[in-house]
Structure 1
C-alpha cells in the first residue's frame, strides 16, 4: 500500500497481453498469445506448446518466464515503451530461456 503521493502506482499504457501479442508479431506465426487472469499477465506459446509468461514486476519492468523450466529474466525496458519495441525486445531474448 502506498504511504505517500510519490509511491502511488502509475497506470501502464499496455497490458502484458498486448505486449505478448506484439511479441507474436515480431516472432512469427509459430507463436501464439493468450491473456492471463485479471489482465495481469500475457502468455506466449510456441509450436511445441512451451509456455511463457509476460508480466510487469513491482518496479515497473517487464519480465519473461519460461513456465516449463521456471527460468525468468527481466527486460531493461519499462512497460511504457511503444508496443513494437516491447515485442521486439521479447523476441530478442526469448531464445535465452530455452
Structure 2
C-alpha cells in the first residue's frame, strides 16, 4: 500500500488485454484473446486451447503465465514507451519459451 504520493502506482495507457490483443498479430490467426474480469488480465488461447494469462503482479510488473503448465515470466513494458506492438512481440516470443 502506498504511504505517500511518490509511492503511488504508475498508470499505463494500456491494459493487459490490450497487449494480449496486440500479440495476436505476431502469433497468428488461430490464436484468440479474451479480457479478464475488470480488464485486469488478458487471456490468450493457442490453437490447441492451451491458456495463457497476461497480467500485472503485485510489484507492478507485466507477466505472462502458461495456465496449463503453471510456468510464468515477466515481460518488458518500459522499453519503447510501452508501445503495445512492442509488448505484443515480447509476448509472442515469451510464449515460445513457456509452451
Other-structure match for 1:64 = 64
Query: How do residues 1-98 of structure 1 correspond to structure 2 at under 5 angstroms?
Result: 1-78=1-78, 81-98=82-99
The TM-score with structure 2 as length reference comes to 0.91
Q: Cα distance, 1:78 vs. partner?
A: 3.3
CA root-mean-square deviation:
1.5
Give the whole-Å Cα distance in 2 for the aligned partners of 1:31 and 1:78: 25
Indicate conservation of the 8 Å contact 1:41/1:54, yes or no.
yes
Structure 1 length as normaliser, TM-score? 0.91
Q: Which runs of 5+ in 1 are unaligned?
A: none
Equivalent pairs, count? 98
| TM-fit CA distance, 1:9 | 1.5
Higher normalized strand content (fraction of residues)? 1
Alpha-carbon distance between aligned partners in 2 of 1:77 and 1:14, rounded to the nearest angstrom: 10
Shift in Å at residue 61 of structure 1?
2.1
CA–CA separation in structure 2 for the residues paired with 1:43 and 1:78: 21
* CA deviation profile, 1:46-84 (whole Å, cap 9, x unmatched): 110000000122333210000011110111333951011
Q: Describe the SS at the equivalent of 2:95.
A: helix
How many angstroms does 1:28 deviate by?
A: 1.1
